[in-house]
Amino acid sequence: MEAAAAVVAELEGTLLHDPDPFSYFMLVAFEASGLLRFLALLLLWPLIKLLEAVGMRDLGLKLMIFVATVGVRVSEIESVARAVLPKFYMDDVDMGAWRVFSSREKRVVVTKMPKLMVERFVKDHLSAHEVIGAELVVNRFGYATGLVNDGGDLDVFILSQVDKLFDHDDDELPGLGLGRRTGSGSSFLSLCKEEMHPPFTFNEDLQNEQLVRPLPVIFHDGRLVKRPTAATALLIILWMPLGIVLAVVRMTVGTMLPFWAKPYMSRILGGQVIVKGKPPPPPAHGSRSGVLFVCTHRTLMDPVVLATVLRRRIPAVTYSISRLTEILSPIPTVRLTRIREVDAEKIKRELGQGDLVVCPEGTTCREPFLLRFSALFAELTDRIVPVAMNYRVGFFHATTARGWKGLDPIFFFMNPRPVYEVTFLNQLPAEATCSSGKSPHDVANYVQRILAATLGFECTNFTRKDKYRVLAGNDGTVSYMSIVDQAKKVVSAFTPFFH
């Protein structure tokens, strides 16, 4: 490694604003194990803070590591590190520190968290070449023991590991060290020729091509919307029992009410639907074909919300939702097979009977990006109405790639005040459809672009398979269970939280 061109940076408190890793261990506890471990770690927070206050910071850190990981399969921790943590790390990146860090040719990150928890993020998104951190000790059965192999002293371990990367000659010392003046893990600064310490200045107005930004997080998983600091975690714990009751009430009432009454009851129960644009009128009696509503895909609730706004039961095309979700759905669903000819015939048949909703991304995406649109819809009709769907929630995400999709509506309705925004665009003119000679791909790309522009999102070429490969390590194929098995899953729906 060319030391003069190298930078060694501390992660906590330097590349990340927050020097306290507690919230990241809380995420591991919640997402890899369950609510009981999440609660146990939260209850230990005062003790952890006391240990830090009396100068036993490393002991407090090891206590967090132990409680968050002991007895958890290392594959689950790896999954959380791949699919959940990067989003929260990215939200906390210090752009001033990143600007300095990214300016060097060789980049090394040191962390007091287990290396497994940060390596994927700092290499994929911060372009680090090396990561120095203690390794989790794993038993022969693949479970974490809750211990780390740092030799007993984290500062000495980090110092020795940084020293091994560079020769002992003075000319081969790291060119620059970024870290706090004091704190666990910053002892490596003594090996660097130059030092820089937080805070770092950064001009947010420098939005030019020369300013290289971290690779954005497009796909992420996990149920929690906010990073669970101690205060946020306590609020989540206190809200969850009430949230479950509220979700059951909302779903029961929503299923029983006629569509004209749903918007009024939604407001009474704390929800909100914001409608922009002018929805098209219902199809005329005797019409030979309906309108195809082409929507962005944010949650499984998209077609239901659209039907609520239009105040009529419009069927929705589905790809891979659970059988139980189909049974509980207040609108008809049309399950596609992903066999192009069969699916095309199904969609044509439904359009011949009236309006239809389709989400051509094929899967949900939480971030302000749109996945590549399937072009199948453009081949089947010229009556296309693009609809930009977006939502806001406070506590829980209503989508999952790693968990059970049957819980998605429950988590959506568990939020104190879920908000949906529905924006109707004008029906595509004839010259923008296949009837004017345009290819289906051109039409699909055009619809993707105008929907992205409406929402302020970015278009991508990523697909459903790309998302599931990143988040779940598979291609997103669902193996469907029997109704009995699904009923058993409902009864034990929240047992993953109590492992």
DSSP notation for 102-160: HTSSEEEEE-SS-HHHHHHHHHHTS--SEEE-PPEEE-TTSBEEEEE-STT-HHHHHHH
For the cut 70, the answer to whether the pLDDT of residue 442 exceeds it is yes
Element (H, E) at 9: strand 6-10
Using CA atoms, how far apart are residues 199 and 213, in angstroms rounded to an integer?
A: 19
Per-residue pLDDT, 62: 95
What confidence tens digit (pLDDT) does each residue in 461-482 have? 999 999 999 998 776 555 444 3
Per-residue pLDDT, 484: 39
Per-residue pLDDT, 488: 42
Q: Which amino acid is at 359?
A: C
Domains along the sequence of the chain with CATH: 3-196 (3.40.50.1000), 257-498 (no CATH)
Using CA atoms, how far apart are residues 119 and 137, in angstroms rounded to an integer?
A: 16
What confidence tens digit (pLDDT) does each residue in 69-94 have? 999 999 999 999 999 999 999 999 99
| Selected residue with higher pLDDT from 329 and 411 | 411
Name the residue among 376, 401, 381, 20 with its Cα closest to residue 185: 20
Using CA atoms, how far apart are residues 426 and 405, in angstroms rounded to an integer?
A: 32
Q: How far is CA 104 from CA 173, 175, 195, 197, in A?
A: 14, 9, 14, 16
Per-residue pLDDT, 174: 84
What confidence tens digit (pLDDT) does each residue in 223-276 have? 999 999 999 999 999 999 999 999 999 998 888 888 888 888 889 999 999 999
What backbone torsions phi and psi does residue 336 show, to the nearest 5 degrees?
Answer: -90, 160
The mean per-residue pLDDT over the stretch 435-446 comes to: 94
For the cut 60, the answer to whether the pLDDT of residue 487 exceeds it is no
Q: Which residue has the tokens 């752009």?
A: 95
Per-residue pLDDT, 168: 57
The mean per-residue pLDDT over the stretch 189-211 comes to: 75
> What's the pLDDT band for 286 if we cut at 50, 70, 90?
low
The mean per-residue pLDDT over the stretch 155-162 comes to: 90
β-sheet bridge partners, residue 423: 276, 388
DSSP code of residue 224: B
Q: Which amino acid is at 293?
A: F
For the cut 70, the answer to whether the pLDDT of residue 116 exceeds it is yes
Are 339 and 430 a contacting pair, CB within 8 Å?
Answer: no
Q: Any residues with CB less than 8 A from the CB of 178 and at least 6 apart, and which?
A: 7, 8, 9, 10, 14, 15, 97, 100, 101, 195, 196, 197
Per-residue pLDDT, 154: 87
| Selected residue with higher pLDDT from 185 and 317 | 317
What confidence tens digit (pLDDT) does each residue in 355-370 have? 999 999 999 999 999 9
Per-residue pLDDT, 428: 95
Four-CA torsion 371, 375, 381, 383, nearest 10 degrees? 30
Using CA atoms, how far apart are residues 444 and 271, in angstroms rounded to an integer?
A: 32
Name the residue among 472, 320, 481, 493 with its Cα closest to residue 402: 472
What confidence tens digit (pLDDT) does each residue in 300-329 have? 899 999 999 999 899 999 877 777 677 778
DSSP code of residue 312: S
> What's the pLDDT band for 166 if we cut at 50, 70, 90?
confident
The mean per-residue pLDDT over the stretch 371-400 comes to: 95
Per-residue pLDDT, 497: 36
Per-residue pLDDT, 257: 87
For the cut 70, the answer to whether the pLDDT of residue 39 exceeds it is yes
294 alpha-carbon distance from chain centroid = 23
Three-state SS for 359? coil
Percent over 90 (pLDDT), the chain: 65
Using CA atoms, how far apart are residues 462 and 451, in angstroms rounded to an integer?
A: 16
Per-residue pLDDT, 52: 92
Per-residue pLDDT, 1: 52
DSSP code of residue 93: B
* Helical residues (DSSP H) of 54-105, grouped into ranges: 57-69, 74-83, 85-91, 95-102
> What's the pLDDT band for 3 if we cut at 50, 70, 90?
low
Are 388 and 425 a contacting pair, CB within 8 Å?
Answer: yes
Q: Which amino acid is at 262?
A: K
